[in-house]
Amino acid sequence: MNILDKFRYKKDDPSQLNINLNQSNNKIYSKNKEHLSRLLSTSVKVTSEIFPNISKAIDNVFKRIKISNNFSFFVTANHFETQAICSAMPLSDTAEIILTSKLVELLNQDELESVIAHEVAHFYYQHALYPDPNKAKNRIEHLNLLHFSRAAEISADRVGFLGCKSLENSLRAMLKITSGLGDGHLKFNFSTYLDQLRELKENKGDKYALYSTHPNFLNRMQALIWFSMSNEYNDYLKTGKKGIYNLSEVDEKIDESIKRVTGNELAVSNKEVFSRALMWGTLNIFLADKKFTKKEQEIFQKNFGEKSTFSILSLIKISNNKIIEDKIQNAFTDASKLIADDKKRLLGELEKLIKVSDSDKLLIKSSFEKLKNLIKIN
């Protein structure tokens, strides 16, 4: 296992989106070739003869993170955006990294190494496989995909840090890119910037941050500082220092810190979808034999309350089976956008209720399998 796998942020977990990193894709070669041709036509390819400093920065990064350099690097004219982009087809074994001219002009070589390593990390971790949040089918999927996009940036920031081998240079790069200003205008007193993060949290965060693909730069700076204080980081770099936290503790601290900025709307929304699916899934199991016995009604009320039970009984009286089936279908369509752990937990709760149902066991099994198919879990 490469050390990059060990340092991956735990919330950046593709298995939670049912993504298989080992699948194959035979359609990528022609698309890669077409994209490369476009870059060769519109941008300048990085070579040691044309860009000696950038070329040296690239070499330094790959020596430190210990992976193969299967990349082509380009500089493109853009004096408005301080940006680097990793362009790779999902599951490809090569990628192109594009650096804007403004980025190259703003950062020194050490800072540029951090940005280069960050973009390499996106390729290494196969973040291109993550679905586009803008193509989400519903709100809960949109929010969850944005959450994974933010988590991916935390992982990539760590590799950026390892790639330049300097916490200060990583933080300086973040500040320069965020502000658009260089050394002549900035003082790099990092504790002052963290005071700004504390002020943001005390001001109850930023509700728009929930809809961003990136954590704000203050959260990212704090996350890197905490990462540098982990036992695992100090052991790997042989700094001679003892870390203050285990990496799992660091990951929890980062998650909580980001939540204090984005708010708890994501957690509340996931809980609502989970609870609704559990209620309708329970009804689906209890009605497997088209009966809702007194015992099942009591269990239902104990789990979902008197008000919900009364509403369900009223619905059963005035509705046909198709209406109830549609409500179950809708609840589980929404639940199919939950992360894998929540889906497994939902099915686990339903399995407990199967044991106390009065319905025929074969009918229950058939109903449960339909729910499993609706929720789309591997």
pTM: 0.92
Supply 363's token pair: 């009918």
pLDDT at 305: 96
Residues 6+ apart with CB under 8 A from 197: 218, 219, 221, 222, 257, 261
Instruction: Decide: 250 and 227 in contact? Cβ < 8 Å.
Output: yes
User: Position of tokens 């193509």?
Assistant: 135
- pLDDT averages per 10-residue partition of the chain, 378 residues: 92 90 53 79 96 97 94 95 88 88 97 98 94 93 96 98 96 96 90 90 91 96 96 91 94 96 95 97 93 93 95 91 93 95 96 87 91 86
Is residue 302 packed enough to be buried (19+ CB in 10 Å), middle (13-18) or exposed (0-12)?
Answer: exposed
For residue 151, the model assigns a pLDDT of 98
Give 333-352 as a DSSP string. HHHTTS-HHHHHHHHHHHHH
Q: Which residues pair with 73 in a beta bridge?
A: 97
Residue 333 has what pLDDT? 94
The confidence score (pLDDT) of residue 31 equals 57
Report pLDDT for 32.
66
- 9, burial (CB in 10 Å: exposed 0-12, middle 13-18, buried 19+): buried
Question: Measured between alpha carbons, how far is residue 231 from residues 20, 168, 189, 311 in Å?
Answer: 30, 19, 25, 54
CA 368 to chain centre: 30
DSSP for 262-274, written as a single string: H-SHHHHHHHHHH
E strands, 37-185, are 44-45, 71-76, 84-87, 95-100
